[in-house]
Structure 1
C-alpha cells in the first residue's frame, strides 16, 4: 500500500513539473500582465480567438455585455481609445500592446496580450508607481504634456485625434459640450495636412455667436502631427478695439477740411484723409503705396505744392530741419504757393515715434485779412487828409483810430500809446492841454453810454489859447467819433450843447 502512495505522489509531482515545462514562455512578463495576474479579478477581461470572443470576465463594464467580436469591442473603445488595433494581428506582431486613453485625465488603459494564439484584452486603471531607470526620464515629460496650461494634441494621418492633454479636453468640452467626441478635430485648419507651421484660427462655441482665437502650431511627426494651441483672445480683442478706433478716427478725419498725413516711426505714410488729396493734388495710388517722408515732400515739390526753393541742397537741409522740428512739435509755417494759394502747414509728434503733418488752406482768410488791411489803410489815408482832428472810440471805450491832424493837435500816438488807451486815459491827456471844463467828463460819459445817444457839440479852450469846437457823434455798433476844429474855420452844423458851470 505504501508503494502505491509513493507512486501516486511521484506521478503528481511529475505531472506538475510537466505542466510547468509545457507552459508557453512570454518574452515580456511582469507582476501586472498575464493570465495569473492577481488583479485580473478586478478588471474587465476579454479573450479572443482571432476575431471571435470566446470568454470574458464576470465583472464587465457597462455597455460591454453584448460584445461578440473584435470589431464590437473596437467600436465601443474607439472613442476613448482611438489607437485600439483594427485587428488582433497587430497584437500578435507586438506581443504586448498598452493603449492609453485619448483623454489623459481618464485613469484607465487597455492592455492587449498575445498568449499562445489567444488575445487577452484587459481594461484596468494603471498603477502609479515611482519610475526607475529610463522611465524616470519620461515621467517629467509626460507630466509636462498632461498638465500644460495650453491645449496639446496628436493627430494621425487621417486628421483624427490620437492623444490630448487636459487643457485640450477642457477646451473641447467648453466649445462642444461635455459629451463631445475627442477624436474629431476641434480646429478647422487641423484637417488641412499641408498647413504645417504657425497659423491663427478661430473655434466656434456651440450655441453662441462667440469665437475663441488661438495661434495654432503644427509639427510633423512620423505617425501624424503634434499640435499646440496658444490662447490669443486678449490679443484679438485688443486688435479689434484698435481697428474699430482707427476706423472711427478715419471716418472723423474724412470729414475734416484739413489735410492730414501721419508718418509712422519708420517715416512711411501710415494714414491720410481725402482732404490731403484735394489740397496737395497727389494721386491716391501714390499715397496708398505708403511713400516715405522724403518721397512725399519730393512729390509735393514736383507738383508745385510747396514754396519753390532756391536750390535743392538747401531745400533738402530744410526738410531735415522740418522733420526735427515736427518731432519736437515746433514746426509751423505758412506756404505761399505759386498758384496764389496759401497753406498753413504744421507738424506734431505722435506716440511711438510717429509724426503728423496738417495742411490747411488759409487762402480765404489771408485774402480777407489783406483786404481788411487794405481797407483800413484806405480809411486811414482818407482821415489823414481831413483838416479836423478826429478820434474814433470803439464800443468798449478804447481808442481805435486817429488821423494826422489829431496827432498834430494832441501829440503823436506812438509817443502817448493811444492804440491801447481807454477813454479815461485819453480825456486825462486832453485835460493836461485844456483849461478846466466839464465837457471832457460829458464826452467820457457819452462814450460809455449805450442808449439815447445823439450828436452834440461843445466848445472849450486849450492852454495855448486856441478855442476848439468839439463835435461828438455816435456811429454804428456803439462806436463814437470825436472831432476837433478851431472855432474860426469850423462850419457849425449842430446846435451848441449848454454846459452848466
Structure 2
C-alpha cells in the first residue's frame, strides 16, 4: 500500500474516535458527564519552516512510519484536509480554528508559538460505549483495508476536480508501471458522470511497453465525489479486434460475389453487406452503412420497387417476424417477379448467435432461358402431335423424351403418367409383347445407346392385331433417336419386309 494511503487510513482511524463524539451533542440524549482528556491523549503538532518539528505520541500515531520524524506540511495537509476541507493548502501563519466537516464539535486549532505553529486537535472525550464501537469499527476497517489491497482491479476515489483522495494497491501498480506519481497524477482519462449516475469508459494504457485496456465504471456519490473501478478487458478487446478482422476478411471475400448478401445480427440490424447488394437493390451505400434494422431495410426496398408489392403491406410487416423465423430455420426461399421484369431469388440462412443472412440472386437470365426451353419443348411437342404416325424420341441415354398421341393409342401406354422415366428397354418390351417375334428389338436398343456414327434404317414388324407396321429408326442431333411406326396399307405394300438401311 502506498505511503499516502497509509497516512489517510491512519488519520481516518484516529479521527473515528473523534467522530463518535456526535453521540454527546446536546439534544441527542442525556448521559453522565465524561471524563476530561488526559495529556497523553492530546493530538498536537509543532511545525516550523513547513516541517513537523515535534508531535505528541497520539499525534505521531496518525503519521505513517515513512513520514516520521520529518513530515512536511504537504504530507500533513493530505492527512487533515479530507476531514477539514476549510484548512488552507499553505501552512497557516496566524491563529485560527477549523471545524470538521462531519462534526462541528471536532476542531483543529492553530496557535502561533515563537515563530512556529502549534496545531491541536480538540474533541469531546469518548465514553466506554464509544470506545467499544471504535474498536469494532477498527476491526472492520482492517478487513476493508485488506480487501482493497488484494483487489486485482484498480479502485480509487476522487473529488469533483479530479484529485485522488483514496486508492488501492492495484491503482498504485498501474501508476508505477506508467512511471507516474499516484499522489499527484491519475493515469485514467475519464468522462465525468452526472450525480447519482454510473458511466463506463474504455481507457487504453501502455504499461511496461504493452498496451493494456481497462473499462472504468464511475459512480457519482452524494457528497460530490466519485468512486471509480477499473476492470481489465484485454481479452474482450482482442476478441473484438479478431471479430472485426474476420468481418473485414468476409467483406473482401464477398466483394466479388455476384449474389447480394445482407447479414442482420440478433438485434435485427444490418452488420454486413457486399457491393452486389447495392447493385441489385439500388439502395444508397450511406443508408446501408448506417446499419438499418430489418424493417427499415425492407421498407426502402419496397420504395425502390425491388420487391413485389404485397396485397396488404401492413400485415406483411407483421408477418416479417415469421420470415425471420423461417430464415433462422433455413426454410425461407422465395422468387420475386419485379415490375421491371427482373426475377430475384431470395434465400434466408441462419447465422451464429441469433443472426440471419439473406441472399439475393438475379435469376432473370435463368428464368428467361427456362421459359425459352419450355417454349421450344412445347413447340416440338405440338409438331410431333401433328404427325399421324406413332412417333417416339429417345435421348442419347435411352430415355423417352417425346411421344405423340398416336403412339399412346398404338401401344396403349402413357409415359407422362409414369412415376419413373421410360427407357428404351421399357419401350421395346412393350413393343415386343404387342407384336409377333422379331429380332429388331435388340437392334433398336443397341442403336439408341451406341455412340458411333449411325445411319437410318427400317424394318417391317407384325402387330398381333394383324396390322403390318414399318418401323423406321433415324438418328437425330445430340445423339437422340427417332423411332416411327407406319402402318403398311395396300398403297405402300411394295415395301420390302427385310431390314433396309438408307444413307
| TM score, norm. by length of structure 2 | 0.65
Deviates more, 1:246-255 or 1:393-402: 246-255
SS of the residue 1:189 aligns to: coil
User: Contact 1:215 / 1:232 at 8 angstroms: preserved in 2?
Assistant: no
- From 136, 139, 144, the equivalent of 2:139 is 136
Q: Distance in 2 between matches of 1:223 and 1:200?
A: 19
CA contact (8 A) 1:186 1:203 kept: no
Distance in 2 of aligned mates of 1:158 and 1:316:
55
State the partner residue of 2:342.
Answer: 341
Q: Counterparts of 1:50-449 in structure 2 under 5 Å? A: 50=49, 132-154=135-157, 163-173=166-176, 175-176=177-178, 181-183=181-183, 185=185, 187-189=187-189, 198-206=199-207, 208-217=209-218, 219=220, 226-263=227-264, 269=270, 271-288=272-289, 291-309=292-310, 314-329=312-327, 330-348=331-349, 354-414=355-415, 417=418, 420-449=421-450
Q: Secondary structure at the match of 2:40?
A: coil
Q: What are the Cα deviations for residues 300-350 of structure 1, in whole angstroms up to 9, with x where unaligned?
A: 4443333344x5xx3433443353144134443322222222222344555
- Tell me what 1:14 maps to: none
Are the equivalent residues in 2 in contact too, given 1:474–1:481 (CA < 8 A)? yes
2:40 aligned with 1:29: yes
Between 1:153-162 and 1:337-346, the stretch displaced more is 153-162
Structure 1 pair 116–492 and aligned structure 2 pair: CA distance change class (3 A): farther
Structure 2: how far apart are the matches of 1:483 and 1:386? Answer: 10
- How has the CA–CA distance of structure 1 residues 224 and 50 changed in structure 2, closer, same or farther, with 3 Å as cutoff? farther
Q: Deviations over 1:28-66 (max 9, x none)?
A: 6369x999xxxxxxxxxxx975458999xxxxxxxxxxx
CA spacing shift, 1:353–1:28, aligned 2, 3 Å: farther
SS at structure 1 position matched to 2:280: helix
Secondary structure of the equivalent of 1:210?
strand
Kept after mapping to 1: 8 A contact 2:193/2:220: no
Q: TM-score, normalised by structure 1?
A: 0.65
What is the rounded CA distance, in whole Å, between the counterparts of 2:268 and 2:478 in structure 1? 53
State how 1:460-499 maps to structure 2 within 5 Å: 460-487=461-488, 489=492, 496=499
Number of matched residues? Answer: 416
Q: Cα RMSD (Å) of the superposition?
A: 4.9
Q: Is the 8 A contact 2:264 2:294 kept in 1?
A: yes
Label 1:93 to 1:249 Cα distance change in 2 as closer, same or farther (>3 A).
farther
Distance in structure 1 (CA, Å) of the matches to 2:227 and 2:354: 41
Distance in 2, matches of 1:240 and 1:338, equals: 43
| Whole-angstrom CA distance in 1 between matches of 2:485 and 2:388 | 9
Tell me if the contact between 2:193 and 2:219 (Cα under 8 Å) persists in the aligned partners: no
Distance apart, 1:181 and its partner CA: 4.1
Q: Is the 8 A contact 1:342 1:366 kept in 2?
A: yes
Alpha carbons of structure 1 residues 257 and 145: separation in structure 2 relative to 1, 3 Å: same
SS in 2 for 1:426: helix
Going from structure 1 to structure 2, the CA distance change for 1:401 and 1:34 (only over 3 Å counts) comes to same
Tell me the distance in 2 between the aligned counterparts of 1:308 and 1:194: 49
Which segment drifts farther, 428-437 or 244-253? Answer: 244-253
Q: Distance in 1 between matches of 2:246 and 2:51?
A: 67
Residue pair 1:301, 1:308 contacting (<8 A) in 2 also = yes
Contact 1:259–1:279 under 8 Å retained in 2: yes
Q: CA deviation at 1:264?
A: 5.0
Greater Rg by CA: 1
- Where 1:435 maps in the other structure, the secondary structure is coil
Name the counterpart of 2:103. none
